[in-house]
Chains A and B, each alone.
Chain A
Amino acid sequence: MEKKLSQMKYEEKGRIKVIDQSLKAQIAGMGIREGKEVEMMTKQPIKGPVVVNVDRANTSIGLGLADRIIVEVEE
């Protein structure tokens, strides 16, 4: 099932499917690229950033960015 990264639940795992073109170069340095496995670590309230784990590294990204990343998750 596809969903936005921002819609992933706590501890949910998935694989990054599509990253908005305008974002790719910006987040590649954080290890976030298409095909990567991600796990949702923390979601901050009141539209705060999300923390995801990619390749054992935790990275926080703004909710606005997380909205533009599509993830494939298992049902």
Chain B
Amino acid sequence: MKKVLLMGQANVGKSALFNRLAGARVTESNYPGTTVDFAKGRMRLNHEDVEIIDVPGTFSLEPKDKAEEVAVRMLEQEKDALVVCIIDSSKIERGLYLALEIMEKGYPVVVALNMWDVAKNGNVKINAPKLEQILGVPVVPTVATRGEGLKELVLRIENATSASIEEVMEKVGGKGGTFN
């Protein structure tokens, strides 16, 4: 079965989105060897059942604690998974960091700009179509708690693509770089 991983930093609304997408078909499970829980559920995507997994929050793919280790390991184990990267729109910059890291690993990604309402109220203006053009993956504004944008998100999951970080860098005129 095709797997969809919901990934994002802490407190961006991953679980809210998960509960919306998976509906009542949620099953809880324990990841062996840790105390960190993650949830699994199912949803219909393009007339096909897919497994949807609520991955623990992580700031980056450089794990700093047990929960983050689980998140990174889950990503590494699910080589064929598609990733919905959830970003708190009001703190978009640090969320994009994780999104780019996941894209860099070659996973097909869809970005959910969650908490769109919070960003709007905080006068944070985001040009989602432009961001989509730069990243080369679908970017969908959502308000998971109210279910806004979720239909669009699910529709766009089918268009999830792997993007090239080099192309992203070219578009923003950055030089790239590593920490090592």
Which residues of chain A have a CB within 8 Å of any CB of chain B?
Answer: 21, 24-26, 28-31, 54-57
Q: What's the count of A-B pairs with C-beta under 8 Å? A: 39
Stretch of B26-34, B47-55, B92-100, B126-134 at the chain-chain interface: B92-100
Extra contacts, 9 of them, besides A29-B59, A29-B101 (Cβ < 8 A), are: A24-B179, A25-B60, A26-B60, A28-B60, A30-B59, A30-B60, A54-B94, A55-B91, A55-B94
Residue of A24, A54, A56 near B122 (CB, 8 A) is A56
Cα–Cα distance between A30 and B97 once the two chains are bound (Å): 8
Interface residues of B in 80-111 (CB under 8 A from A): 90-91, 93-94, 97-98, 101
| Secondary structure dominating the interface of A | mixed
On whether the beta carbons of B122 and A25 are closer than 8 Å, the reply is no
User: A37 to chain B: closest CB distance in Å?
Assistant: 12
On whether the beta carbons of B94 and A31 are closer than 8 Å, the reply is yes
> Which 7 A-B pairs give the minimum distances between C-beta atoms?
A29-B60, A31-B94, A29-B59, A57-B91, A25-B179, A24-B179, A25-B62
Can you name 10 A-B residue pairings with CB atoms under 8 Å? A24-B179, A25-B60, A25-B179, A28-B60, A28-B97, A28-B179, A29-B58, A29-B62, A29-B101, A30-B59
Interface string of B6-28 (1 = CB under 8 A from A): 00010000000000000000000
User: A55 to chain B: closest CB distance in Å?
Assistant: 5
Cα–Cα distance between A50 and B91 once the two chains are bound (Å): 19
Cα–Cα distance between A65 and B126 once the two chains are bound (Å): 32
* Chain A neighbourhood of B179, CB < 8 A: 21, 24-25, 28
